[in-house]
């Protein structure tokens, strides 16, 4: 079973399904303009750590598409910085941009540099698809029985260029008869759970229900959750993990209720330059996302708001981290992974 990929590269253009319009409208942004691609990442029209990385890789490669040779260096540098400034937390963005930059730095004098960059973006894209498959296979090992699972945000096909991370583990487990029900946190304030994860689960035919984020404690107290699994935006060497705001709440709740708490992510989400979560930069979103809802004002515009997009779950609250390489158990040490 497959769902709609977040992005496709066709006829030298990037096709992005506009995730701010889902699930009510299935609309596409079709562009070869790196500025439009940067805006799409900032607006969360494309989002999720791996998908952001692959999208930015195409954006940077496309920056040379219509440019004369003498302007290559200037335009490339401008596009690199523009794309790198879009969202600070997901390390996959910087990983992918730097992979494209390495090719540019080595081969910028070759006549077909534009095609070389596009080929590199295509290989980053293909690699992401393969990583998702590896995660889904390794993730099967966490299921000892048909389970009731809770997830937060969206770590599915929409968040990667393959079939997803945490949601791909759930999809694979469902196909093997190991999923009874998926509880989906709505994921305030932008509702990646109730809009995007629900859309994917519905297409996959997996039984689910959406709940407000504050319902998860009650679900656990009623013994309705066997395990929690989420994705990640950046994992430090010691296993501390940045993911969508509210993930830490779940890990604390799991600890209290003695429920296993898993992270699923590709090794491209591990940041070997971050020793611990303290070094991870957390994105603050525009307060408009709290004062307004879907364009409608819901509280006074002048009320101040605190708007972190992500939080850090300390390693000691994580039962295991599933990557394409294996299931990593604590104590985590990702120096050589």
List of residues contacting ligand MRU (CB under 6 A): 44, 47-50, 90, 153, 155, 159-160, 165, 192, 230-233, 243-244, 309
DSSP secondary structure of 20-32: TTTTT---EEEE-
Q: What is the largest CA-CA distance in the chain?
A: 66
Q: How far is the CB of 73 from ligand MRU (least distance, A)?
A: 31
Start-to-end CA distance of the chain, whole Å, equals: 30
Beta-carbon contacts of residue 36 (< 8 Å; ≥ 6 apart)? 29
Beta-carbon contacts of residue 157 (< 8 Å; ≥ 6 apart)? 2, 3, 4, 5, 6, 163, 164, 167, 168, 200
Q: How far is the CB of 155 from ligand MRU (least distance, A)?
A: 4
Q: Which is nearer to ligand MRU, 120 or 244 (CB)?
A: 244
Q: How far is the CB of 203 from ligand MRU (least distance, A)?
A: 17
Catalytic residue IDs = 233
Edge-first strand listing for the sheet containing 261-264: 208-211, 179-185, 147-151, 227-230, 261-264, 320-322, 327-328
Q: How far is the CB of 49 from ligand MRU (least distance, A)?
A: 4
Helix axes 91-107, 72-84, angle to 10 degrees: 170
**Four-point Cα dihedral 301, 307, 309, 314, nearest 10:** -160
Q: How far is the CB of 300 from ligand MRU (least distance, A)?
A: 25
Q: Which is nearer to ligand MRU, 44 or 100 (CB)?
A: 44
Q: How far is the CB of 107 from ligand MRU (least distance, A)?
A: 31
SS3 category, 180:
strand
Q: Which is nearer to ligand MRU, 8 or 283 (CB)?
A: 283
Q: Which is nearer to ligand MRU, 75 or 305 (CB)?
A: 305
Q: Which is nearer to ligand MRU, 104 or 310 (CB)?
A: 310
Q: Where are the alpha helices (DSSP H) in the chain?
A: 34-42, 49-62, 72-84, 91-107, 113-139, 166-175, 198-204, 216-221, 247-257, 288-291
Q: Which residue has the tokens 């079939």?
A: 163
Phi, psi of 176 (to 5 degrees): -95, 10
Q: Which is nearer to ligand MRU, 6 or 61 (CB)?
A: 6
Q: How many CB atoms lie within 10 A of CB 329?
A: 11
Select the residue whose beta carbon is closest to ligand MRU and give its number.
231
């Amino acid at each position: 079973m497959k769902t709609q990929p977040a992005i496709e590269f066709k006829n030298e253009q990037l096709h992005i399904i506009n995730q701010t319009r889902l699930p009510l409208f299935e609309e596409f942004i079709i562009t070869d303009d790196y500025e439009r691609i940067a805006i799409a990442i900032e607006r969360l029209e494309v989002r999720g750590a791996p998908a952001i990385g692959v999208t930015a890789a195409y954006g940077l490669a496309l920056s040379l598409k219509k440019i004369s040779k003498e302007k290559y260096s200037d335009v490339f540098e401008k596009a690199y910085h523009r794309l790198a400034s879009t969202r600070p937390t997901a390390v996959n963005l910087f990983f992918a941009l730097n992979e494209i930059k390495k090719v540019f730095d080595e081969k910028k004098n070759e006549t077909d540099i534009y095609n070389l960059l596009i080929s590199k973006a295509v290989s980053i894209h293909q690699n992401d698809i393969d990583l998702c498959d590896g995660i889904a296979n390794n993730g099967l090992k966490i299921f000892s029985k048909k389970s009731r699972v809770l997830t937060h945000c969206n770590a599915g096909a929409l968040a990667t260029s393959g079939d997803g991370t945490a949601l791909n583990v759930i999809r694979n487990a469902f196909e093997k008869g190991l999923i009874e029900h998926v509880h989906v946190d709505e994921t305030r304030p932008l509702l990646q759970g109730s809009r995007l994860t629900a859309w994917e689960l519905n297409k996959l035919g997996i039984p689910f229900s959406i709940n407000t984020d504050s319902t998860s404690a009650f679900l656990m107290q009623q013994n309705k959750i066997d395990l929690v699994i989420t994705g990640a935006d950046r994992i430090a060497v010691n296993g501390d993990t940045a993911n969508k705001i509210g993930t830490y709440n779940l890990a604390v709740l799991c600890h209290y209720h003695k429920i296993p708490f898993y992270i699923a992510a590709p090794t491209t989400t591990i940041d070997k330059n971050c020793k611990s979560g303290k070094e991870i930069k957390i994105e603050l979103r525009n307060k408009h996302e709290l004062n307004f809802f879907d364009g409608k004002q819901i509280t006074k515009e002048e009320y101040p708001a605190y708007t972190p997009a992500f939080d850090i779950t300390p390693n000691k609250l994580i039962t295991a981290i599933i990557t394409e390489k294996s299931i990593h158990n604590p104590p985590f040490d990702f120096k050589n992974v």
